Amino acid sequence: MKKVLALVLAAMMLLGMMPFALADGVVSVTIPHYKTGENVGAIFFLPQVERFNALYEGKYHIEIEELTQDMYADKIQQLGQQRKLPVLVEGGNTEWIKNVVIPNNLFTDLAPFLAEHKEVADLLIESNLAYNTTEDGKVFSVALPVIRPMGMYYNGEMIDLGGKTPAEMSWDEFTEALGDNKIAFMTGENAWTTTLAFSSMIAVEEGGAELLRSHTIDKLYDFNQPAILNAVAKLQKILQNYASSNTVGAVYADAANAFMSKNAAVIANGSWMVGDFAEDGGKWSNGFDGSTVHGAVLPGNVALANTDGFGWWIPANASDAEKELGMAFIAFMNTPAELEAYMLAEGGVAPNLKVSDEYTEKAKASGLMYEYVNAVNADTIICPSFGDCVPSSVGDQEFGKLLPQLIDGTLTPEAFCAELTAAAEETRLN
C-alpha cells in the first residue's frame, strides 16, 4: 500500500513539475508574471487572463505564477539560461535581450503573425515596431500600442498652486508653492519616484530631453555633462529641503505611504497608480481620503514615456501549440475592447486606435485618470526616464545607493556624477 501511495505521489509531483500539459486537447501553460497579488498591474492583468481563458475555453488556458516585480527580469534571465523560458514573456532586461536573446535567436519571429493580423499591426506605434524589428526584418516583440506618459500626483488640499497647474510651473516655482510640504521621494529599491522627478529635471535643462531620448538604446556612461550636473544640483537642493522624512532607505511602499498619510503632498508615478490613489482606494490615513488628489505632468511640463521598449514575446523553445496560444493572447490583448479596458484601468492613449464613444464617456467619468492623462498638452516635453537610459545596475542600484550621500552632502553634484560615471564604466565588459 505504501509503495502504491509513494508511486502515486511521485507521479503527481512529476506531473506538477511539467511546464505544460495537453489534456483533452487544451493547450495549458503556466507563465510567471509580476502583475499578481498586491502589484497594481494585477487589477487589470489577472481578469484579462481570465477573460482570455473564458474566450478560449476548451482550447487554451493560461495559469499565472506569482513573482515580485523586482524578481521578474532576473527570473526570466535565469530561465533563459536554462533554455526554459515560459511561453509568454513581457519585456525583460533590455541589455540581456539585446545581447543574448536577439543575437541567439531565442525568440519567435512575430512578423508573420503581424502580417496575418493586420488589425494588430495597424495599431502598433511605428517607432516601437521599428525598435522591435531586428536588422534582418524579424519582429522580436509586440508592445501594447498605448503610450502612458508618467507624471505625478499631488494633494490639492495641502498645496496651493495659485490657479496654475504644475505644467505651467518650473521646479523652483513648484517647490516654492510647496511651502513646508514634502515630496515622497525614495532611495531604496530602484529609487523609482526620485528617478522620475530627476528625469524631469534633466529634461528641462538645455539639451537634456535630447540627451535622454538618444540613450535608450546605447546607454549613457558619462554623467559629467552640464544637463545632468545641473539636474543633480537641483535634485540635491530639493531632496535636502522638500523630501519626506522617510526618504532615505524608503522603498516604494514607504513613499506611497508618505503620500497617502499626508506626510508628503506630491509623489511622482505613472497613471497605473490611479487605482491606488482613487478615492475608494481604501489605503488612506491621517484623515485623508484621496478626494483631493490631482494628476499632473511633472513641473517644467515634462511627461516621461519611452516608446523604445520591448513588449510581449514568445521564446523559440515553445512548441507550435504553445506558440499559437501565445499569439492568440497577444492578439487578444490588442483587440480594441481590451485596449480600451486597459486604458480605462491604467491610463494612457493609443494613438492609432479609434476609440468608441462609450470609452470616451467612461474616461471622462473616471475623474482622476482623465485628469492625469489629459494633463499632457502639445507643449509637453515627452522623453524617456533616466532609468531607461543607463546601464541596469546603475539605474536599479547605484543611483539609489548614492542618493543618501547626495542628501547628507557627503557628495557634491560633481562627485555624485563622477561616482555614477565610474559605476557605469564598471558595467562594461572588457
Site for another protein in 208-247 (CB under 8 A): 245-246
Q: What is the DSSP string of 47-80?
A: HHHHHHHHHTTTTEEEEEEE--HHHHHHHHHHHH
Residue 297 has what DSSP assignment? Answer: P
| Distances in whole angstroms, Cα of residue 263 to Cα of each of 184, 276, 285 | 8, 17, 10
Residue 259 CB, nearest distance to another protein (Å)?
16
**Rounded to whole angstroms, how far apart are CA atoms 403 and 368?**
31
| 319 touching another protein, by CB under 8 A | no
Taking Cα atoms as reference points, which of 77, 62, 52, 69 lies closest to residue 28?
Answer: 62
Stretch of residues binding another protein (CB under 8 A), selected from 8-16, 55-63, 93-101, 111-119: 93-101
Residue 429 CB, nearest distance to another protein (Å)?
6
Residue 47 CB, nearest distance to another protein (Å)?
31
Q: What is the DSSP string of 206-262?
A: TTHHHHHHTTSSS------SHHHHHHHHHHHHHHHHHB-TT-TT--HHHHHHHHHTT
Site string for another protein, 403-422 (x = CB under 8 A): -xx--x-x-----------x
Taking Cα atoms as reference points, which of 204, 236, 208 lies closest to residue 223?
Answer: 208
Comparing CB distances to another protein, the nearer of 220 and 345 is 220
Residue 348 CB, nearest distance to another protein (Å)?
29
Comparing CB distances to another protein, the nearer of 61 and 75 is 75
* Amino acid symbol at 17: M
Residue 67 CB, nearest distance to another protein (Å)?
15
Helix (H) or strand (E) holding 21: strand 20-23
Comparing CB distances to another protein, the nearer of 282 and 430 is 430
| 430 touching another protein, by CB under 8 A | yes
Site string for another protein, 267-306 (x = CB under 8 A): ----------------------------------------
* Amino acid symbol at 113: F
| 396 touching another protein, by CB under 8 A | yes
Comparing CB distances to another protein, the nearer of 387 and 391 is 391
Q: Which residue has the cell 501565445?
A: 326
| Distances in whole angstroms, Cα of residue 417 to Cα of each of 210, 223, 258, 428 | 19, 5, 28, 17
Residue 100 CB, nearest distance to another protein (Å)?
4
Comparing CB distances to another protein, the nearer of 24 and 218 is 218
Q: Judge contact between 33 and 45, C-beta under 8 A.
A: yes
Selected from 99, 105, 127, 224, the binder of another protein by CB under 8 A is 99
Chain residues binding another protein by CB under 8 A are 74, 80-81, 95-96, 99-100, 103-104, 187, 245-246, 248-249, 391-393, 396-397, 400-402, 404-405, 408, 410, 422-423, 426-427, 429-430
